[in-house]
Amino acid sequence: MALEPETDIRYLKGVGEQRARLYGKLGVATVEELLYLLPRHYLDFTAPQTIASAPVGERAAIRATVLKKSGEQRIRRGLSLFKVLVGDDDLTLEITFFNARYTVQSLTVGQEYYFYGKVGGSLFRRKMDSPQVYPLSAGGTLLPVYPLTAGLSSRMVTRQVEEALSSVPLWEDPLAGSGLAERYDLPPYAEALRMVHHPHSWAEVERGRSRLVFEELLCLALSFARLREGRAALRVRPMEKKPMEAFYRALPFTLTGAQQRAIDETLRDLCSGIPMNRLIQGDVGSGKTMVAAAAAYFAAQNGVQSALMAPTEILAQQHYKTLEPLLSGLGMRVALLTGSVPLKEKRVIKEALAAGELDLCIGTHALLTGDTVFGRLGLVITDEQHRFGVGQRAALQEKGEHTNVLVMSATPIPRTLAMIIYGDLELSVMDELPAGRRTIRTYLIDSSIRERAFGFVKKHLDEGYQAYLVCPAVEEDEEGDPTLKAATAYAAELAAGAFRNYRVGLLHGQQKPSEKERVMAEFAAGEIQLLVATTVIEVGVDVPNAVLMVVENAERFGLSQLHQLRGRVGRGSVQSHCILISDTKNEETRNRLRTLTAVTDGFKIAEEDLKLRGPGDFFGSRQHGLPELKVADLAADTRLLQKSEEAAELLLTRDPELESVPALRRRCESMYRKMSL
Ligand code: ADP
Ligand code: MG
């Protein structure tokens, strides 16, 4: 029977209810999904080794003849072993199998096999434990090893994939007729799937995979194009050009070129009549807040209300403190709405909002609650957007009709990744820091000279400056890692010990909002000299007098996160320092941390980070609305990403409805559905 892509895997030989359930755990329910279950790696039988040539300590396929089989030796209950002696023209190899009666019985003395395993022993007495045995027919191929779940063996999956593969040549090639396979030199669909599941060389693996990656990224690019197009069909009242001079005059500094560009791009969007959807991406300290302020000022002059949503109460307050004096001086009415605003005051603000009497409302999630009504909302600004779920962004957007959206992200995301994650957003990159900003001198030390580092901190505290000390955890590790610095205990230890003559404060995410608020206010007022904190401080609170940061267990943080953290210092005109403490023995980790001592460009650091950790880790477990990619690896496949973007454009200009490529269209539709949920 010919199988269709959508055929349930239960129609495959050997797949019953139970196995189907196991496949379900791997996300496989249909034949097509089975084919997208790509091997994790391959066992290389393309160049089998002799016993003499196999590198000791590494896995290899060895071709050898069975010379002798010993009987079963019982070691203890439930554990028995078999010895099998094999040999080739030069040497013999002593193989030990554990609990493998069936495997050993199936070996025939005098016959050749491949034994795949790790070679050990000495040159004259080579040994191998528990190898996998393959018939000679495996020779010349790469055997796929699949991601497994208990109960499904790789061999079983291989058999079922083989069966599924036999039907693929009958299916429609998603790229057929598009000319794209020819243009980018990609193998046909069926070939590509065969190449990844049943390759004869590494070159085939690469070639097959690149076709599948291309197609997946193409679907993504097409889906984003459709999102953009959907928005382009929407209309908002275009704002009119209004003079900005008063705003610029009110600023205590001149804007950087990057700020000015981002503002110009934003205002142009607002005048376009199509709802704005723009991402302002700028390194810490690049001055994104002023872009938000300019946009809100422009909107207010157009009679439009703005909302500015921050992920934390502290940050919302900070924005309010910066923006209220500036904008009220320009005649705007600005309010702060957060969870801790007293109920009565909240009611007054909400009434004013609904009546359209406020021009800008700054707040947290409190802005999202159902009883917050905006009278004439037209611009939604979210700060540090990767901390908001996509749904929250949408919820705020829905409070106005087709609202303009401005997103500010302080995580410098490599451009390639930004294209994927924010593919439906226009992008302004702020790659310039305000003039006169000194770079933060960063050092990497180990704990043996922590005392000296503390001396350096005290010297600064004595001069009236303040410092942060960042810990990776709030409480002691459950496994009791004695070297892990936990904020709560460490703060107490320092306050009683090394820093007993100084005012030490503690800030972490598990404190009540009001508590955090109080601590932050004390630090901002200079009452706390040394603030022991977790990564809660990562998000933008400005204390220019804080010029030093010490990070304990630096190896526990990502590079981008450390970069983000150190952005908390260096906000004034004094030279700032960041001291990373780590005792990691891992050379790679040390080198990674060393990057920070030399590189100051957040985008470069993010790229390093992405290379090392992959996009999943890069964003932690946070929701970011990215559809799950099955084959593409965003860090590694940037070249294909560019090609697929180009191809999407090509295809859409020629055939906007994708009528000539129905199979591709179906695939895009399924991805699009997942994205717009
Ligand atoms: P971020 O991009 O990290 O949100 P902020 O908007 O908080 O940066 O700005 C960081 C600091 O730089 C603030 O103290 C702000 O007042 C200051 N700043 C912003 N733009 C300029 C500028 N053009 N020149 C000098 N200082 C500036
Ligand atoms: Mg900011």
Q: Residue 381 C-alpha to ligand 2 middle, in angstroms?
A: 12
Residue-wise pLDDT for 310-340, tens only, equals: 877 878 888 998 999 999 999 999 999 988 8
Q: Is residue 267's pLDDT more than 90?
A: yes
> CA 357, CA 375: separation in Å to the nearest integer?
8
Q: Residue 255 CA: which ligand 1 atom is closest?
A: 23
- Pocket test of ligand 1: the residue of 289, 407, 560 to mutate, having most ligand atoms within 8 Å of its CB, is 289
Q: Residue 372 C-alpha to ligand 2 middle, in angstroms?
A: 24
Reported as half-sphere exposure (CB side, CA atoms, 13 A), residue 135 has a value of 3
Q: Which of 409, 543, 532 is nearest to 471 (CA)?
A: 532
**DSSP class of 624:** -
Q: Which of 154, 127, 129, 148 is nearest to 43 (CA)?
A: 154
Task: Count other C-beta atoms under 10 Å from residue 463's C-beta.
Answer: 9
Token reading at 374: 């905006």
- Pocket test of ligand 1: the residue of 251, 256, 290, 537 to mutate, having most ligand atoms within 8 Å of its CB, is 290
Whether 584 contacts 556, CB under 8 Å = no
> CA 4, CA 61: separation in Å to the nearest integer?
36
> CA 299, CA 240: separation in Å to the nearest integer?
9
Q: Whose CA is nearest to atom 23 of ligand 1?
A: 255
Whether 313 contacts 517, CB under 8 Å = yes
Residues 6 or more apart whose Cβ sits within 8 Å of residue 533: 468, 469, 470, 471, 487, 506, 507, 508
What DSSP string describes 11-77? GSTT--HHHHHHHHHTT--BHHHHHTS--SEEEE-SSPBPTTTSPTTSEEEEEEEEEEE---EEEET
Q: Residue 476 C-alpha to ligand 2 middle, in angstroms?
A: 31
AA identity, residue 111? Q
AA identity, residue 316? A
Judge if pTM exceeds 0.85.
no
Q: Phi/psi at 46 (nearest 5 deg)?
A: -75, -30
Q: Whose CA is nearest to atom 9 of ligand 1?
A: 287
Q: Residue 253 CA: which ligand 1 atom is closest?
A: 24
Residue-wise pLDDT for 371-418, tens only, equals: 888 888 999 998 865 554 445 555 555 655 668 989 888 776 766 666
Q: Which ligand is nearest to the CA of 286?
A: 1
Residue-wise pLDDT for 585-638, tens only, equals: 988 889 889 999 998 888 888 877 777 665 544 444 333 455 667 777 766 677
Q: Residue 599 C-alpha to ligand 1 middle, in angstroms?
A: 21
Please compute the mean of the pLDDT values over residues 561-574 and round it to a whole number.
85
Confidence at residue 521, expressed as pLDDT on a 0 to 100 scale: 84
> CA 355, CA 406: separation in Å to the nearest integer?
24
Residue ranges lining ligand 1, Cβ < 6 Å: 253, 255-256, 259, 282, 284-290, 410, 434, 540, 542, 571
